[in-house]
Structure formats: structure tokens, C-alpha cells
Amino acid sequence: MLAAAIVASVLLSATHGAQAQTPRSAAMVVDANTGEVLHTEQADAHVYPASLTKMMTLYMTFELIEMGRLSYGSKIRMTEEGAAVPPSKLGLKAGEELTVLEAIRALVTKSANDVAVALAQHIGGSEPNFARLMTQKARSLGMRQTTFRNASGLPDSGQVTTARDMITLGLRLQDDFPRHYKLFATRSFSFRGKSYRNHNTLLHRYQGTDGIKTGYTRASGFNLVSSVRRDGKHIVAAVFGGKSAATRNAKMQKIIGRSFAKASRTRTRAPASALVARAAPPPQPAQRPQMQARAELAPPPQVRPAPPPPPVASADRGRSSIAVAKVRPVQIGNAAQEQAEPQRRQQFASAGMTAPLRAAPRPPAQEYVPRFVPETGALRPSTFQAQAAHLERVDTRPMQPPPHALPPPATRAASRTAPSGPFEIQIGAFGNAAEAERRMMQARQRLGGMLDGYASVSVPVQSGGSQLYRARFRGFDATAANNTCSQMKTVQIDCFVIRAQ
């Protein structure tokens, strides 16, 4: 009897384990010209992203390129952790290097896990820290149900997403980084004498496909996000949980083919405002004109390569509305219809999806950006520790239902006992108080928790008949002021220390 009970228990456990590992099927199709949902199938069900995770790894990389902190020619060193991960991989040894452009192409085509880990460690100091940044970025884009635990998509039960969230990310990659997005159309990639064919075989065989990414683990099944353009129409679609690459591709072609008949040639969805400032130099203090010249050097022209060439052909080869706002939530079905009309119009104005842009304010640039990567790629311990401590306060769990938004850093800082030292740090003088406040908020974001507790003030002054506002942080002692200003300079924030008058 005991033996029979043990056998039954083992069999039951095995059955439950198999059920837990059964891939969940989900799909969604969106008209990228209008933002209209053309097909939906469990679009909000939690699924495992697998290597679709690398779409966010690349989003973070593209941000840093646009900020001038990385270039296509920047070197990425393979780490011991990266070299040790399971395939798919390039197989680089620890200490070997490749360029950022090579890393991007390796992720797009080969879906190289080792390169994803090395890139994450180069940007975030550690892969777990980079994953927290990925999740924070996902929240800022409106990917409410997505949580990242690693940069590659290797199995982790806590790493989940939805079809809706991945379409949101696919749209943002195209809206925010049109120059870099073209790399997703790379059909093959040659590296050190070997050629790697893109896993996304629809690039070779399905008319109009311009990207973007495949994914597979045993738990996720075969996943795919596709972007297809034909005759002025543009569709972005996601399929999760395919039993094989062939059945996944067949389903993708089927739902896209049906959706094209309903898609529009007229573009009414305006691209969402990017959350990262481009490399254009920001306004600088009038009394320090050399700061403007310095800003114009980022990114350095000698290391920023030309736009990537077009991909070389290889022999291998129920309607509703979607809103992807500055926090990019997607409204589906009756819930969207039940909103009050003024609120709906403001949301769509912010999203730029199907209504004219009217009322929504432009989100602050650089509100959510990776903010501490030195040019050398090596983090100073104090900067990393402060950033990691700050990120530990961010709730990265899937939002079901969505929790209240985190208060801005300035609010959290105000809740502490404010330091009262006699020194201040000035980061610039600007033409209006709002710009001064925005720059101080950016500085808080870039420095992580280092500025928490210190008051930020905009001090009005007259200079040459013009009104300026000096952006300052106050309450430091001499040592803290000098150390903090030094850390600011490592993330390209010009500053100087003064004694309060």
C-alpha cells in the first residue's frame, strides 16, 4: 500500500509539473498606422518571453547610443558569467571583445545569450541590476504586466510578459529608434569567419517582413513578434506558445493575412514621445559657455558610425482601440469605451494613437534612462552602490491590478530629514524655472539615490537683462558636495560647488 501511494504521488507530481510547463498560447495583432487592435487571443495572459527579452536589452542599448554614452564602435568584453551561460551563444571566451554593433547583430540574428549577459553587465554593472533597470523601463513604457529577471530570456519563473506588452515594446522600438530598428531586418551576420542566419525565417519568406524577434524555451513554446509592411499598411503582431517554429510561423502568417484586409493605409497614430533625450546639446548656463561646447561633443563624431546599411540578401533566408501612452497602457475592448470622453481624449492625445494631439503635456525627457554608465564601461563602486540601493526601492512585480505609481524621487527625498550643510551644487542656469526643475529631476534620476534628502531649488537671477534660474542642490557639507559633484561629472553632468550666501 505504501509503495503504491508513493508511486501515485510521484506520478501526480510529474503530471502537475508537466502541466505547469505547458506553454500558454497567446496572440495579438495591431495596425501600427492607427493603433487599432485587429486580432486578440489571451493578450493579457502571463506568458514567458524567452528571447523576446532581448528586445528590451536592445532598447536599453539603443537609448545609451542616442545619449552618446555608447557607440556602435564601443567595445564589450565577454565576462566569465556570460561565457558560462547555455546556448544559443557566440562562444566567446572570458576577456574576448566585440563591438556594440556586433553585439546588436548577434542578439538580432543568433540570439546570443552570452552576448546579452556581457552587454547587460557592461551597462548595469551586474545582470540582476540591469534586469531591474529593464523592468523599470518596461513600467515607464506602459508594459504593466512585464517583469524581467535577466537580459537573455533564459528560463526564470519570475520573468513574465504578455502579448500586449511585447507589441507595445515592438512599437516603441520603431517609434523611438527608427535608425537602429533597421538592424532587426539583418538576415545573416558574419563574425570571425562564421555566418549566422537570422532565426526569424519570415524575413526570408514572408513578403514585407522587416523584423523583429523570435524566442523559445521549453516553458514558453515558440514565440515571435513580427512587423510587416505592404502597400502602405503596417502591422505589428505577437504569437506565443507555438508547438514548433513552423506552426508558430504558420499562425503568424494566418493572423497577419486576415488582419491586412482590415488595416488602414492612413497613418493616424503619432509616434509616442521618446523617454530618452537625444544627443542634441541641452541649454547651458549663460555664465559658463564652455559647457555648451562640451555638450556638443556627445556623442563623439569620430566613434559614432554611419547609419547601418540596408540588410544584404542571403541565400539563407473584435476591433478595439489600443493606447500606448507616455506610460503606454493599452486600452482594449469595453473598458476603453467606458471611460469618460474628456479623459479618453486626453489619454489619446498623450498616446498619439487615433485622435489629434491636443491636451496632454510632453513627458520630461530622460525621466527613465540608464543613467550611470561611464565612457569606459567600468562603474565606480560608489555610483553603482547608490544606484543599486535606489533600484531596490522600485517594485518590479507584475502589476495585477496595477499598484499606485511610485512617487518621484523629489517626493521621497522630501520625506527625510533634510541635511543643512552650508554648501550647494549648481548644475546650470536656464531660461525658465520649469527647465531648471526638469534638469534637477534628471540629475536625481542619473545619480540614483545619491541626491535623496538634498533639497533642489531654482534661484532666479538677472543676467544681462535676462531672467535666469540657477538649478541647485543644497544642504551639503564640503566633503559631500565635492564627492557628489565628482560623481555627477562621471555621468556627464557639469557642476560646481559654492558656499550658500
pLDDT tens for residues 392-441? 444 445 444 333 333 343 433 333 455 778 999 999 998 888 888 888 98
Q: Which amino acid is at 377?
A: G
Q: Tell me which of 103-112, 220-229, 325-334 is least confident.
A: 325-334
The answer on pLDDT for 2 being more than 70 is no
Q: Which helix (H) or strand (E) holds 475?
A: strand 466-476
Higher pLDDT, 465 or 89: 89
For residue range 16-42, what is the model confidence (pLDDT) as tens digits? 443 346 789 999 999 999 999 999 999
- How many angstroms separate the CA atoms of 25 and 422, rounded? 61
Q: Which amino acid is at 101?
A: L
Higher pLDDT, 467 or 311: 467
Q: What are phi and psi of 149, to 5 degrees?
A: -120, -15
Q: Which amino acid is at 398?
A: P
- The pLDDT score that the predictor gives to residue 500 is 83
For residue range 123-178, what is the model confidence (pLDDT) as tens digits? 999 999 999 999 999 999 999 999 999 999 999 999 999 999 999 999 999 999 99
Q: Which helix (H) or strand (E) holds 133?
A: helix 127-141
- The pLDDT score that the predictor gives to residue 418 is 57
The answer on pLDDT for 272 being more than 50 is yes
pLDDT band with cut points at 50, 70 and 90 for residue 15: very low
The answer on pLDDT for 449 being more than 80 is no
- Residue 446, helix vs strand vs coil: helix
Q: 455: which 3 cell numbers?
A: 533639497
- The pLDDT score that the predictor gives to residue 417 is 53
396 to each of 154, 158, 366, 392, 454, how far by Cα in Å? 18, 10, 20, 9, 26
| Helices (H) then strands (E): counts for the chain | 17, 14
- The pLDDT score that the predictor gives to residue 316 is 38
Could you tell me which of 353, 309, 341 has the C-alpha nearest to residue 185?
Answer: 309
Helices 381-391 and 478-490 meet at what angle, rounded to 10? 90
Other residues' Cβ atoms within 10 Å of the Cβ of residue 480: 17
Q: Which amino acid is at 209?
A: T
161 to each of 45, 64, 73, 303, how far by Cα in Å? 8, 24, 32, 36
Helices (H), 261-305: 290-295
The answer on pLDDT for 222 being more than 90 is yes
3-state per-residue secondary structure call for 185-248: HCCEEEECCEEEECCCCHHHHCCCEEEEEEEEECCCEEEEEEEEEECCEEEEEEEEEECCHHHH
Per-residue pLDDT, averaged over 225-238, amounts to 96
- Hey, CA dihedral for 97, 100, 102, 107, is it positive or negative? positive
Q: 311: which 3 cell numbers?
A: 540588410
The pLDDT mean for the chain works out to 75
Q: Which amino acid is at 132?
A: R
* pTM score of the predicted model: 0.59
For residue range 45-74, what is the model confidence (pLDDT) as tens digits? 999 999 999 999 999 999 999 999 899 999
Beta bridge partners of 77: 97
- How many angstroms separate the CA atoms of 304 and 359, rounded? 37
- How many angstroms separate the CA atoms of 377 and 92, rounded? 19
Residues counted in the chain: 501
Per-residue pLDDT, averaged over 320-324, amounts to 39
- The pLDDT score that the predictor gives to residue 19 is 38
- Burial class of residue 309, CB neighbours in 10 A (0-12, 13-18, 19+): exposed
In Å, the largest CA–CA distance within the chain is 96
Q: 279: which 3 cell numbers?
A: 544627443
End-to-end CA, the chain: 87
Per-residue pLDDT, averaged over 314-318, amounts to 37
